Amino acid sequence: MIKPLSMLKTGERGKIVRIEGGMMVIKRLTDLGFVPEQEVEVIRSAPRGPVAIKIKGAVYALGRGIADKIYVEEVHE
């Protein structure tokens, strides 16, 4: 099922399907490695505040507004 990255819980993983938003948002995320087919893992996600994401060995804190624009498909082991 495809859903926004912000909907994943701590410890869950997803594969990026698409990113929505303006050109600057998409370019910035792409530069950080957020590209289709790339797997991400949620390190920390609280009901409020940023979502901590691990991608390609790096950890980033994304605001919920940005995390809402990244759509992922859940990855199950």
pLDDT tens readout for residues 38-74: 999 999 998 888 999 999 999 999 999 999 999 999 9
For residue 42, give the nearest of 6, 3, 70, 4 by alpha carbon: 6
Q: What is the pLDDT of residue 77?
A: 67
Q: What is the pLDDT of residue 33?
A: 94
Please state, in angstroms and rounded to a whole number, the distance separating the CA atoms of residues 36 and 54. 15
Q: What is the pLDDT of residue 48?
A: 84
**Global pTM?**
0.91
Q: What is the pLDDT of residue 28?
A: 94
Extract the tokens encoding 65: 């507004």
Domains of the chain, earliest start first: 2-75 (2.30.30.90)
Indicate the DSSP class of residue 2. Answer: E
Complete DSSP assignment for 39-71: EEEEEEE-SSS-EEEEETTEEEEE-HHHHTTEE
